[in-house]
A and B are shown apart, each in its own frame.
Chain A
């Protein structure tokens, strides 16, 4: 596993305490897991995602990321309806390890209230939380 300063955290994202990220893109929000989360899990072997059209409340479990020796539930950072999922992850889950913020995104969601994003952490707050976890 890497040190925190070896990991990357884009400035334009919002983060959750469970290590999901969210990015507002016009009227949709893109969701994924952070570099820290993929690094902790190790080689990801499977990603379970919901179906397009499923509706969720903020904080609901929406999927699972599995490595060989661990599995981790993912929780929705914002309420809304699933608009699209990343179909490339089923045949090639390692994309999440290689490109957590770009090709390894999980899904697009149509948010009920985009303002919910404001309650999430920005990069600085997230980094502070991670450093707190380390000590």
Chain B
């Protein structure tokens, strides 16, 4: 086994911003005053916010030190299931930071925004081609925002048919965002259990689908990392009752260039550009959640939409059936540029190859660890595989302990305790950008931890000891919330 990358680093202490600085110090080059002062209405004026005054060096050291307390894709393997933590190419950052994009005002006349509009127009077409659902909106700012957009489209579609349906079918493996998004549109979530193979059984869907049900929300591949192989039959049942099929495309990274979502019966699908299309997650955003739909549903997409005529682009509001606007402007354009650059760099063959390798990496890990960790669904997986802590419970070691110990080996832990249908789940998504050597080190670390669980469980209970802080008291944090200082 190679030496693990996990070690103690040189970690600095750093106080909160307002615990440092001195009144009158500045980290900002104030522009020259070349106009006179105009009187202000004293009634309206306050004292200004009580911000600490810091120098530029203070600010740079502060945030540099903070950054060193973070694990990131740039630091190491981050196999967080369902999050697709693939490498974020640096050239994409360069493109998005070009002054011609960064400085673009969203309400400029179209003739002054041709470059921006062309990128949006072309990106929509690329995403339409990749999913098989040709009509696309880029407005949603994140995956859950895309789900809401999808549910608004469901609502508008049924309304156009003169009906107002009240329910929606959601499998028990779904992300919590699915039922929460459906609730925003007034739909009551009807849960369906996955079968013994970890996928939806058509009979179970048929049992709950009726004429008051707007449709179904399916994640495919699902959160167990399995392809919903009955998807066509399920779609047919839903369609036969006049419902629509929504696909949560969070796991699209498994099937680019391989599956045509329209052929599997999907009507509406959201993508996460910050997962599949390699834009960085930013410690929780900004993401981007484009929604792709069938030609039949195009008229309901949010407006305005980018249109092209004779090589000229403009924004059109001429969509009377549109669900409306879901973002003040056009979504997270700065993120869209990065996805555009990624697709232009990859091309068709490499996108397909990326999906193949993402699935290969997951199956390789599954095969290598299946005798060490319990595998609740022992089937060929897609881009992620789900284990649990069943083999370790005799030693009073839990999934959480494994996750914390993994940090000391220099890896970000997998997603834990999700999906909820697997108790103590350990959900591993390596992504295609991890090489065999790094994956082998991860596998070795997981095996070493399983060994330690039997021989020296205290190591796991005490972990982690190497990061800036150790396990934190989340109970007191929630009982006596301290949310600002």
B-contacting residues of A (Cβ < 8 Å)? Answer: 43, 45-46, 66, 68-69, 93-94
Contact = CB atoms under 8 A, between A and B. Distances in A.
A126 to B, nearest CB: 25
A86 to B, nearest CB: 16
Nearest to A93: B479
A104 B400 CA distance: 30
B475 interface: yes
B478 interface: yes
Nearest to A94: B479
11 contacts: A43-B475, A45-B475, A45-B478, A46-B478, A46-B479, A66-B478, A68-B474, A68-B475, A68-B478, A93-B479, A94-B479
Interface residues of B, number: 5
Contacts of B479: 45-46, 93-94
A94 B474 CA distance: 14
A47 B2 CA distance: 50
Leading 6 A-B pairs by shortest Cβ distance: A45-B478, A43-B475, A45-B479, A68-B474, A68-B478, A68-B475
Interface of B: 417, 474-475, 478-479
Contacts of A69: 417
Nearest to B476: A45
A106 to B, nearest CB: 17
Contacts of A46: 478-479
Contacts of B417: 69
A67 B260 CA distance: 42
A43 B479 CA distance: 10
Nearest to B478: A45
Given A68-B474, A68-B475, A93-B479, 5 more contacts: A46-B478, A46-B479, A66-B478, A69-B417, A94-B479
Contacts of A93: 479
Nearest to B474: A68
A33 B309 CA distance: 66
Contacts of B475: 43, 45, 68
Nearest to A68: B474
A66 B479 CA distance: 10
Contacts of B474: 68
A45 B475 CA distance: 7
A88 B479 CA distance: 13
Contacts of B478: 45-46, 66, 68
Nearest to B480: A91
A29 to B, nearest CB: 28
Contacts of A94: 479
A66 B417 CA distance: 18
A68 B475 CA distance: 6
A69 B418 CA distance: 12
A68 B476 CA distance: 10
B166 to A, nearest CB: 19
A25 to B, nearest CB: 29
B383 to A, nearest CB: 26
A94 B480 CA distance: 11
